[in-house]
Structure 1
Amino acid sequence: MLRTRGSRIALSALAIAASATLAVPTTAVAAPAPAPAATTATTQGVPMVPEGVPVDTLAALAPAIVGSIAGPADVAGPQSAILDQARRLLNLLNLPPQIKSTLERIITFLDGSGGGGPEVPKDGPAIAQFLYPTVGKGCIGPTADSIGTALAVPGPATLPPPGPKAGQTGFVFTALGTKSPTPVQNPPMTVQWLNLDTRQSGVLPLTDEAKINPGGPATLSAIADTGSGRVVAVIAGSLTTKADDAEARTCSFLPTLGFFTVA
């Protein structure tokens, strides 16, 4: 059974989705980048939010997730009642069908009523795209923003190098249109994750050690010991890139959220 952290995530998702229908779009969700090449990839987890929803509004979900992960793990409460309340609220909100479907999947994922998520395929890695692409202001140039996409690859898999093992998850973040990342990322891009079934959690910096796209666009990755179960993850932070004929450029990306299952 979930503890209060998972319940707060569901309720926060509903609140932000409701405001998203009223917000004036600033930077809208763009199409995601393709999954890493040379793999037989199968998508899994909660489907991505459809295009056209304001990224700034969706990113406001992340503080609730971060606070939940950082909070005490032994807080108990009437979890099923809270999630039932979230379902009733979802039915009352006047949401676009695609947004409502996504949020229904999130609640089902969090309470485990759907069997804990989709089965992980035997052939090839399961690529779990994060809910929405994020935006880095001024990452390409003074007036040119970058779209950032994130994905998770539950192990065992060959990507990202050296490949996550069973019970591990690989995370990949790509900033479209940017140059190569600098060897030292300070401040770093990070992934913060919580296993809803085991209560394990952690924070890792994303680095260029795997050299996935050495010539750009900047692609950072990490492999985390998430263990098996349903996992919620937040990727956010800063990226520093440098072209051969220019000074280093540092920008920050709004948080993006991922929900997936590790076998």
Structure 2
Amino acid sequence: MRFARTSRTATVVAALAVTGALVSPALAQAEPAAPAPSTEQTIPVPETAPDVDPAVLSSLGAFAPALIGSIATRDDDGQVNNDLLEQARALADNPALPAQATATWRQLIDFLGEPGKAKAVAAGAVPAAEHDVAKKKSDSPNIPTGPKKPRIQQFLYPTIGLGCMAGGGNSVGMALVTAGPQQAPAPGPKRGQAGFVYTSLGTGPAKSSPRRLYVTWLNLENGRSGRTALKPNPKINATKGPGTFTGIANTGRGRIVSTIYGDVTTTQKGRTISCTIAPTIGTAII
């Protein structure tokens, strides 16, 4: 399959320039009726916020267009341009890069080439073939736990929200992808869809605002690309927070590389706070 170089490159680089329960009438009875089960989902987040090195974010932001651009330019057979990948590897070997940034670049470069698929699966990503037999879902509106807990694929590194905390401090941001079919994030991605979740740790509930958070994604197998708005979800962390924003994209099946960027708005201590998110990059198998 051949890919349109100009439009694909423009799409990716432009994105990186910024990344109630129903209750029946009560019946007269001696004992009070049991409360209706909660319909709110809880997306897994770390118990403690990871450290985020501003130097790492700066390094990744500086080289992201060149690195992601290498996958948007294919040869005449529609394959990844190996010369451009070698240039990206040279960037990763720059001794001026922080060690964490170097490790992230190499992980992303591996994902872009054919070896990347096997490594992503080995790291816990769920290949599309396994979803063919995962057709039955629980009737519960809550995300299941134990063996049926949601299959998530974390973004490559945490990021920060600039001034997202009530006291003016930065919040740590965590992003993940779920491959359908499964229930999280509500209402749940279907087969061939990706569910994106961004969480601002330590903040209050997400609030709707004209200022938007976006994910720009590119499917390496079918060449499909797009931009999806991530919005507050009334079924996910909506009561107490942390501020969580979700969206479902029709990516098709295959390897996906994506960037989350933009603004989020949350409610904290009676205040409405809007802030900007430093871009973060993710890879996933849908």
Match status 1:118 vs 2:123: no
Say if 1:192 and 1:202, in contact at 8 Å, map to a contact too: yes
Paired amino acid for 1:193: W
Q: Which has the larger radius of gyration?
A: 2
1:32-86 alpha-carbon deviations (Å, 9 max, x no partner) = xxx934xxxxxxxxxxx996462233233455578789x8999979812322344
Cross-structure match for 1:226: 251
Match status 1:213 vs 2:237: yes
Q: Could you tell me how far apart the structure 2 residues matched to 1:2 and 1:118 are?
A: 25
Pairing partner for 2:209 from 171, 185, 193:
185
Paired amino acid for 1:201: S
Cross-structure match for 1:36: 43
Match status 1:60 vs 2:85: no
Say if 2:70 and 2:80, in contact at 8 Å, map to a contact too: no
Cross-structure match for 1:108: 110
Say if 1:117 and 1:261, in contact at 8 Å, map to a contact too: no
The CA deviation at 1:243 is: 3.7
Cross-structure match for 1:13: none
- Could you list the runs of 5+ residues in structure 2 that have no partner in the other structure? 13-41, 45-49, 131-146
The CA deviation at 1:254 is: 0.6
Say if 2:236 and 2:244, in contact at 8 Å, map to a contact too: yes
Q: Could you tell me how far apart the structure 2 residues matched to 1:150 and 1:128 are?
A: 9
Q: Could you tell me how far apart the structure 1 residues matched to 2:174 and 2:285 are?
A: 19
Pairing partner for 2:201 from 163, 176, 190:
176
CA RMSD across the alignment: 3.7
1:84-138 alpha-carbon deviations (Å, 9 max, x no partner) = 3444665675767765454333222112234465342656543111121111122
1:211-238 alpha-carbon deviations (Å, 9 max, x no partner) = 3111211101011111111111111111
Q: Could you tell me how far apart the structure 2 residues matched to 1:68 and 1:98 are?
A: 21
Cross-structure match for 1:40: none
Cross-structure match for 1:261: 285
The TM-score with structure 2 as length reference comes to 0.64
Say if 1:178 and 1:218, in contact at 8 Å, map to a contact too: yes
How many residues align structurally?
222
Match status 1:81 vs 2:83: yes
Q: Could you tell me how far apart the structure 2 residues matched to 1:86 and 1:244 are?
A: 45
Query: Relative to 1, partners in 2 of residues 1:127 and 1:197: Cα closer, same or farther, differing over 3 Å?
Result: same
- Could you list the runs of 5+ residues in structure 1 that have no partner in the other structure? 10-34, 38-48
Query: Relative to 1, partners in 2 of residues 1:117 and 1:200: Cα closer, same or farther, differing over 3 Å?
Result: farther
Pairing partner for 1:156 from 150, 160, 181:
181
Query: Relative to 1, partners in 2 of residues 1:208 and 1:74: Cα closer, same or farther, differing over 3 Å?
Result: farther
